[in-house]
């Protein structure tokens, strides 16, 4: 039984824990082969000179239970920035206790405090439990949009072509 749940912003000393949770998420999503992040990369991404990413950790009875990574984007139609939720993860043994809802509500409060116009994220099509959870929270799928991505060699090639 959960006695106490606390959410805190990631600090530099939390990076090893964050990386281990990222690897757990990747394993759950069957994407472990795509994880190239290191502690050094995360230190730069969260605390370096050009840092633009933030994260929170959720602790249940002082034990790591969840994390979320997010960054600010911008909506030209709204004329305001928004928050893009890159990852929201609750450890498998901690699911069903309302922790995901608490994490999502915490980020929504950040969006409200920062006067953001929206909070958005992507979800894998096969992840039915996550989809159902998000819909219970009031999220709507953006069926008319398709996400495109350029990475690796394709990104390098695109950047070098005139």
- Give the catalytic positions in this structure: 134
Please provide residue 98's backbone torsions phi and psi, each rounded to the nearest 5 degrees: 85, 10
Residue 101 tokens read as 């809802």
Q: What is the DSSP string of 31-82?
A: -GGG----HHHHHHHHHSTT--EEEEEEEETTEEEEEEEEEEEEETTTTEEE
Kindly state the DSSP code that residue 48 receives in the 8-state scheme.
S
Rounded to whole angstroms, the Cα distance separating 78 from 75 reads 5
CA–CA separation, 68 and 59 (whole Å) = 12
């Amino acid at each position: 039984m959960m006695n106490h749940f606390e959410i805190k912003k990631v600090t530099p000393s939390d990076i090893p824990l964050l990386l281990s949770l990222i690897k757990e998420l990747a394993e759950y999503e069957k994407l472990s082969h795509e994880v190239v992040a290191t502690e050094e990369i995360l230190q730069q991404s969260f605390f370096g000179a050009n840092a633009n990413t933030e994260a929170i950790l959720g602790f249940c009875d002082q034990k790591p239970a969840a994390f979320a990574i997010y960054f600010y984007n911008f909506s030209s139609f709204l004329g305001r920035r928004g928050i893009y939720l890159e990852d929201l993860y609750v450890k498998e043994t901690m699911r069903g206790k309302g922790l995901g809802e608490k994490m999502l509500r915490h980020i929504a409060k950040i969006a409200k405090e920062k006067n953001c116009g929206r909070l958005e994220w992507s979800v894998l099509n096969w992840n039915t439990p996550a989809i159902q959870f998000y819909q219970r929270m009031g999220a709507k799928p953006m069926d008319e949009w398709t996400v495109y991505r350029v990475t690796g060699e394709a990104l390098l090639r695109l950047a070098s072509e005139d």
